[in-house]
Amino acid sequence: MSAKKVGILLSTAPSHPSVETVARLSSEAIAQGHDVYLYCIDEGVKNLRDPRYADLVGRGMKLFVCAYGCQQHGVSTDQLDSRISLCGLVVLSNIVNGCDRFLAFT
């Protein structure tokens, strides 16, 4: 049986409870053998260097961050982990279309 693909959209600032929810949900999905694709947009880009997400990337989560959102919110992308992808909304569209389940935390 192939792994299920779970897509997640996060658009909330680091202080929002959804940030922790997404981290826990992603961790559990990875533990169950699912492929997790997280796209951060709007204020969600401010979570770019959250150590919980860095750990999840190390465990196999695919992390995509809106490049325009980083520019708009003054989030530095210098010395970014090479496993994190800066991209645009076309990638988000592909995640939505390509995943078995998609969840939005806005």
Average pLDDT over residues 12-33: 98
Model pLDDT, residue 1: 62
The answer on pLDDT for 17 being more than 90 is yes
**C-alpha distances in angstroms, 12 versus 1, 4, 61, 101?**
34, 25, 19, 20
**Rounded mean pLDDT of the chain?**
97
Beta bridge partners of 64: 39, 85
Average pLDDT over residues 39-59: 97
Q: How far apart are CA 32 and CA 7, in angstroms?
A: 15
Average pLDDT over residues 6-32: 98
The answer on pLDDT for 87 being more than 80 is yes
